[in-house]
Amino acid sequence: MNKLKSDMKPERLHKILSANGVASRREAERMILQGRVRVNGVQATLGQSAEFGVDSISVDGVPLTVGDEKVYIMLNKPCGYVTTLSDEKGRKTAMSLIADVSVRVYPVGRLDMNSEGLLLLTNDGSFANTIAHPSYNKQKTYEAEVRGDARKAARLLKQPIEIDKHTVQAVKVELSKLTSSGGILKITVQEGRNRQIRRMCAACGVSVHSLKRISIGTLKLGKLKTGQWRYLTGEEVNKLLT
């Protein structure tokens, strides 16, 4: 690509990759370290800056182009799938479930391998940041089948709990059902710490047998079957961003 005059300022490469739907910023840094990214034909280095639309940027030999259509997808992720773009341990990834999508997308946030439910994928970095960053207060609701005293746990989960030296607290907790071994809790949180629901439940004396994310902000999983995906409507995207 020839050098042209541009009003754009140089940006860190991992930010460019994230904003254009290649990967999250953290994953993009890993891709750079793995030697998978080139700028003007030269292997990129971590911390390098470039000008998107001026410099030629490629990932795994595929050029990053201007003007790709923005895509927003919701997937009902099954258990047993990791939410990374690829996995060095050879585990199944959520990306394999959307292999027929023609545009490169990446997961918004994480849903651990043993959890299921609503996972968003996009190539819109600004949208992903709005959904995932705690400062935007996007609430996420989970349905947790727990073993132990579910009634007591429902009370305790409403109180502040310390995880990784940070205080977290459920926005809402509902005891949906009592079972012979425990019960089913519907838990809404605003933070997104690693294995947060499982660790909050453990701190309240119950263990999580199964965990399913059923909503993110205004978007509900609804009747979407396990392993299936669909595009979000424009109205759904707009509501998530407001």
Whether the Cβ atoms of residue 13 and residue 32 lie closer than 8 Å to each other: yes
- Given a contact cutoff of 8 angstroms between Cβ atoms, the answer to whether 200 and 157 are in contact is yes
Residues identified as active-site? 112
* Residues 124, 234 contacting (CB under 8 angstroms): no
Asked whether 11 and 28 are in contact (CB, 8 A), the reply is: no
- Looking at residue 99, its amino acid is A
Cβ neighbours of residue 222 under 8 Å, at least 6 residues apart? none
Structural contact between residues 99 and 93, judged by C-beta atoms closer than 8 angstroms: no
